[in-house]
Amino acid sequence: MSGGFGKRGAVGVDAIPAPSPAAASVPVAAPRSVPIAPSAPSSTRPPAPPQDARRPDSYYETKSAIFSALIEAIDLAQLARLEPDSAREEIRDIVNEIISLKSLVMSISEQEELLDDICNDVLGYGPLEPLLARDDIADIMVNGNDKTYIEVGGKIQLTNVRFRDNSQLLNICQRIVSQVGRRVDESSPICDARLPDGSRVNVIVGPLALDGPTLTIRKFKRDKLTLEQMVKFGTVTAEGAEILRIIGRSRCNTVISGGTGSGKTTLLNCLTRAIDEDERIITCEDAAELQLQQPHVVRLETRPPNLEGEGQVTMRDLVRNCLRMRPERIIVGEVRGPEAFDLLQAMNTGHDGSMGTLHANSPREAIARMESMISMGGFSLPARTIREMIATSVDVIVQTQRLRDGSRRITHVTEVVGMEGDVVTTQDIFVFEILGEDQNGRLIGRHRSTGIARPRFWERARYFGEEAKLAAALDASEVAEELRG
């Protein structure tokens, strides 16, 4: 589980504050009528609702009073040095004491819930803990103290999680960014950070964020999706997945294009699984998300400037440095600036099979985006030269998309073919077509081969001994199409 910090996993995993057996020595304010099994709901309360659902304001008032008394009673610095379990015990004892001193009337389960809540506040990430413990969440979006959204199954939903006030939320933001040696405040209101489990975090606070501290978390998934799972989810067909595997293995220079959260990084990770074990791969990322399976991988990460604005190492610095590290393939997590130039150069100069992702809504747009990243990078190259560079270095563009029903699909596998006049020409190998919508609002569509029997990377596939499999996959996509059509 997570290392040391916070208590992820110790709280109810499904975000349901299930009552747990209270320690025998704990003074309790309410009589316990039946022995409480760990999962049995208390007799005084209906089954616990998910998250903070319908907690009355009085709950927050009580919690706030106990919290203030607790902060006065304990030495936070000393507490931080304790093992999480002992720290939790310590807090538990003091809180129970406060409850009885203040003669607060509470049921066991209410008391347990409150204890968990307070421990999460003091030791972990407060009300975020139950969300962090859930594996089905892709993103957590906190917009100020009283609105927290999550993305589950491709859909965004409002949760009942709320923070006592914006200063509690800001404290949690501080705790998160302090892990990467940073602070957020008025003078430096934006910060990227990471949770101990690898989740990617962005924090923006006032005066820039107008409605309170705003926190966005892309949850790290330890078990990354595989191409097989993507086939099961309908992201791509089995034949399409096979074609992608061949593209990855036979060292095509590949750009994965897609919108925010459309699954670019996940797909990049899948493609890297096709890489042979004996290749030397160097990855460059803003926050290490990729999990390459090969033994010979060097992982590099950019660095933001420190508080004095010094020490920044950009993606461009990393990619350029990579070239001196004898890479066979260079993999750039996300291309968003002038490093596009260096990546294309690398692709062009013997580092076949290099890959990267970028933000664009179609393969055409991806090409335009590369062009503008290079022209804005101050290279003063004529547009035609940049386009020629793109045409000669990129082999394949794979487009990912999160559709309006929440499903994530690979919508295009497109080859860059060459130039016609001033225009980079492309051909789609297969595309996803939306045919309609079922009564539940789910989109119905199909992946369709465009009938290209011999893609340009045919020779590469042959060189890697994948020719027959490529032919079979291309054929099968067409047969499937005829049958369905």
Ligand X SMILES: Nc1ncnc2c1ncn2[C@@H]1O[C@H](COP(=O)(O)OP(=O)(O)OP(=O)(O)O)[C@@H](O)[C@H]1O
Which residue spans within 144-271 are E strands per DSSP?
A: 148-152, 155-158, 190-194, 200-204, 214-218, 254-258
What's the order of all strands across the beta sheet hosting 190-194?
155-158, 148-152, 137-143, 214-218, 200-204, 190-194
**Which two tokens mark 335?**
């291309």
Instruction: State the CB neighbour count (10 A cutoff) for residue 232.
Output: 11
Residue number with CB closer to ligand X (264 or 460):
264
- Sole window of 93-101, 256-264, 382-390, 435-443 interacting with ligand X (rule: CB under 6 A): 256-264
Residue 2 interacts with Mg ion (CB under 5 A)? no
How many residues touch ligand X under the rule CB under 6 A: the total is 16
Of 246, 153, 298, the C-alpha closest to 466 is 246
Of 12 and 263, which CB lies nearer to ligand X in the complex structure?
Answer: 263
Residue with tokens 């022209």: 375
Task: Answer yes or no whether residue 262 interacts with ligand X by CB under 6 A.
Answer: yes
Q: Quick one: which segment of 16-24, 142-150, 187-195, 259-267 binds Mg ion (CB under 5 A)?
A: 259-267
Confirm or reject binding of residue 302 to Mg ion (CB under 5 A).
Answer: no
* 240 makes contact with ligand X (CB under 6 A): no
Per CB under 5 A, 109 contacts Mg ion: no
Q: Which candidate, 426, 419, 340, places its Cα nearest to that of 387?
A: 419
State yes or no: cis peptide before 207, omega within 30 of 0: yes
| Cβ nearer to ligand X, comparing 232 with 280 | 232
351 binds ligand X (CB under 6 A): no
Binds ligand X (CB under 6 A): choice among 32, 55, 175, 221: 221
SS3 (DSSP) at 251 = coil
What does 218 interact with, of Mg ion, ligand X, none (CB < 5 to 8 A by kind)?
Answer: ligand X
Six token digits for residue 75? 């030495």
Residue 12 or 258 with smaller CB distance to ligand X: 258
Say if residues 333 and 289 touch (Cβ distance below 8 Å).
yes
Asked if the bond preceding 189 is cis, omega within 30° of 0, the reply is no
Q: How far apart are CA 183 and CA 180, in angstroms?
A: 9
Q: Are strands 148-152 and 137-143 parallel, antiparallel or unpaired?
A: antiparallel
CA-to-CA distance for 483 and 485, rounded, in angstroms? 6
**Residues contacting 10, CB < 8 A, separation 6+:** 84, 88
Q: Which residue is nearest to ligand X (CB)?
A: 263
For the bound state, the minimum distance from the C-beta of residue 138 to ligand X, rounded and expressed in Å, comes to 3
If the CB atoms of residues 254 and 265 are measured against ligand X, the closer one turns out to be 265
Rg, the chain, Cα only = 26
Coil/strand/helix, residue 344? helix
- Candidate list 263, 338, 445, 455; residue touching ligand X; CB under 6 A: 263
Site string for ligand X, 127-166 (x = CB under 6 A): -----------x----------------------------
* Site for Mg ion contains 265 (CB under 5 A): yes
- Single out the segment in contact with ligand X by CB under 6 A; choices: 38-46, 48-56, 65-73, 258-266: 258-266
Q: What 3-state class would DSSP assign to 430?
A: strand
Find the shortest distance in angstroms from Cβ 251 to ligand X. Answer: 22
Closest approach, Cβ 295 to Mg ion, in A, equals 24
Query: Which is closer to Mg ion, CB of 257 or CB of 477?
Result: 257
Structure tokens at 202: 């962005």
β pairing state of 200-204 and 190-194 = antiparallel
Identify which of residues 65 and 444 has a Cβ nearer to ligand X in the complex. 444
Interface with ligand X includes 266 (CB under 6 A)? yes
Which partner in Mg ion, ligand X, none is near 445 (CB below 5 to 8 A by kind)? none
Binding of residue 111 to Mg ion (CB under 5 A): no
Q: Applying CB under 5 A, what is the total number of residues that bind Mg ion?
A: 2
Residue 414, classified by CB atoms within 10 Å of its CB into exposed (0-12), middle (13-18) or buried (19+), is buried
What are the phi and psi torsion angles at 124 (to 5°)?
Answer: -125, -140
233 binds, among Mg ion, ligand X, none (CB under 5 to 8 A by kind): ligand X
Kindly state the smallest distance separating residue 228's Cβ from Mg ion, in Å. Answer: 21
Applying CB under 6 A, among 187, 260, 380, 440 the residue interacting with ligand X is 260
Residue 238 in the binding site for ligand X (CB under 6 A): no
Q: Which residue number, 292 or 381, has a Cβ lying nearer to ligand X?
A: 292
CA 121 to chain CA centroid, nearest Å: 24
Print the binding letters for residues 398-427 with ligand X: x by CB under 6 A, - otherwise.
Answer: ----------x-------------------
Q: How far is it, in rounded angstroms, from Cα 290 to Cα 229?
A: 17
Taking the mean position of all CA atoms in its chain, how far away is CA 479? 36
Q: Which stretch binds ligand X (CB under 6 A): 16-24, 260-268, 311-319, 470-478?
A: 260-268
Residues at the contact surface with ligand X, assessed by CB under 6 A: 138, 218, 221, 225, 230, 233, 235, 258, 260-266, 408
